[in-house]
Amino acid sequence: MEQVVLLAEDGSAIGVEDKAVVHHADTPLHLAFSSYVFDSDGNTVLTRRALHKKTFPGLWTNTCCGHPAPGEDIAQAVVRRLRDELGMAVSEPELLLPAFRYRAEMDGVVENEMCPVFRVLTDDDPTPNPDEVDSTERVAWTKFASDVLDGTREISPWSRLQVAELVKLGPDPLDWPVADRAGLPEAASPLR
């Protein structure tokens, strides 16, 4: 049974809960991550969430989201989920937004997460796992970001908020500065 790490407001772990039951109308704050895969031309891979997912089914979003297991380093969780969801073997994820947090609701189901954001660099093509991902699309970052910010691109609520923060890092996603892991929630880096 997959579990998620429950968090106090300060980002420390206060328990675990089965992923299958944690998301509901009063979802407790928990640890997650988002990642954006970029190729050498600065294009990013978007994914459409599988239509049968409990939370935000069929919605287009960033490359991969997930939850680290209890005791798992968050960067290693990114690697694990990219492999499981998209069949991508990737190198070390780079931390961009260590303190990102959001709350979103769809059809009475709430996401309530401290959700650090990572960049992953690879030119590999994804091979989606249909249990997780309905389809993928590779898009130019600048066009994608512009369309998200002006409202012409439908995207998940968390990705919309993340894009607004990521564009502040500069126009070229390949040149964005890597953030210090010290900014992560305490529970995200048990080895810190």
Task: Tell me the β-bridge partners of 13.
Answer: 7
Would you list the DSSP string of 124-162?
PPP---TTTEEEEEEEEHHHHHHHHHTT-S---HHHHHH
d(C-alpha 96, C-alpha 140), whole Å: 19
Helical (H) or strand (E) element with 106: strand 101-106
Taking each continuous run of H as one helix and of E as one strand, the counts in the chain are 4, 12
Among this protein's residues, is 64 annotated catalytic?
no
The residue from 65, 85, 111, 115 that is catalytic is 65
The residue from 64, 85, 111, 113 that is catalytic is 113
The token pair at 178 is: 């890597």
Among this protein's residues, is 115 annotated catalytic?
no
Q: Which residues are catalytic?
A: 65, 113
